[in-house]
Amino acid sequence: MDSNREALGIVETRGLLALVEAVDAALKAANVALSGHTLVGGGLAACLLSGDVGAMRAALAAAQGAISRLAAQGATHLIPRPADPVRPAFESGTGGKGPAPEKPAQDDAEATVAARDAQAPDRGGAKTASRNTDGAKPAKKVRIKAEKK
């Protein structure tokens, strides 16, 4: 099939069990292919299907029926001819976040950590330096106790 003419079907459910059941019903109902899946977060999971528009309508109807039979929360959506950048963004396996970033070299990573630590304010967990930025010693904390009568 020509990927530019294929429809994109999305099945999203709360819980993986309902998604597996819905996608199984969709794949058995029509001539569509499983293009990818992602765990969205918060209990949501989604699968992408591709195929002809007519077959996709039948597949998504079967998926919605399976979701209803399980009394699960879910939704289906059909995009007849998605724009060129849409399909690769979702089928890359990164959950729509685009290509995975390159890992920096070891020296770059150490420089990044050092720069971040230099800019980060002290959260009180680590011991502070014995001198202020102007070179003076920091003032000592004095605790005043109330006298008992």
Query: What tens digit of pLDDT does each residue of 63-114 get?
Result: 999 999 999 999 999 999 888 887 777 665 544 444 444 554 545 656 666 6
15 and 72 Cβ atoms separated by less than 8 Å: yes
Cα 140 from Cα 132, distance rounded (Å) = 12
- Which of residues 6 and 28 earns the better pLDDT score? 28
pLDDT at 131 over 70: no
What is the average per-residue pLDDT within 38-49? 91
Query: What tens digit of pLDDT does each residue of 1-14 get?
Result: 455 578 999 999 99
Cα 25 from Cα 29, distance rounded (Å) = 6
Reduced to 3 states (helix: H, G, I; strand: E, B; else coil), residue 63 is helix
Size (the chain), residues: 149
Cα 36 from Cα 33, distance rounded (Å) = 9
Write down the pTM of the prediction: 0.58
What is the pLDDT at residue 101? 45
Strand order in the sheet with 74-79: 32-41, 44-51, 7-14, 74-79
pLDDT at 135 over 70: no
- Cα dihedral 97, 100, 101, 105, rounded to 10, equals 160
Q: Does domain 7-83 have CATH number 3.30.70.1710?
A: yes
- Cα dihedral 109, 112, 118, 120, rounded to 10, equals -110
What is the pLDDT at residue 100? 46
What is the average per-residue pLDDT within 130-142? 65
Q: What is the mean pLDDT of the chain?
A: 77
Buried b (16+ CB within 10 A) or exposed e, 52-81: beebbbbbbebbbebbeeeebebebeebee
Q: Percent of the chain having pLDDT more than 70? A: 58
What is the pLDDT at residue 76? 94
What is the pLDDT at residue 4? 57
- Which of residues 37 and 99 earns the better pLDDT score? 37
The domains of the chain are located at 7-83
30 and 67 Cβ atoms separated by less than 8 Å: no
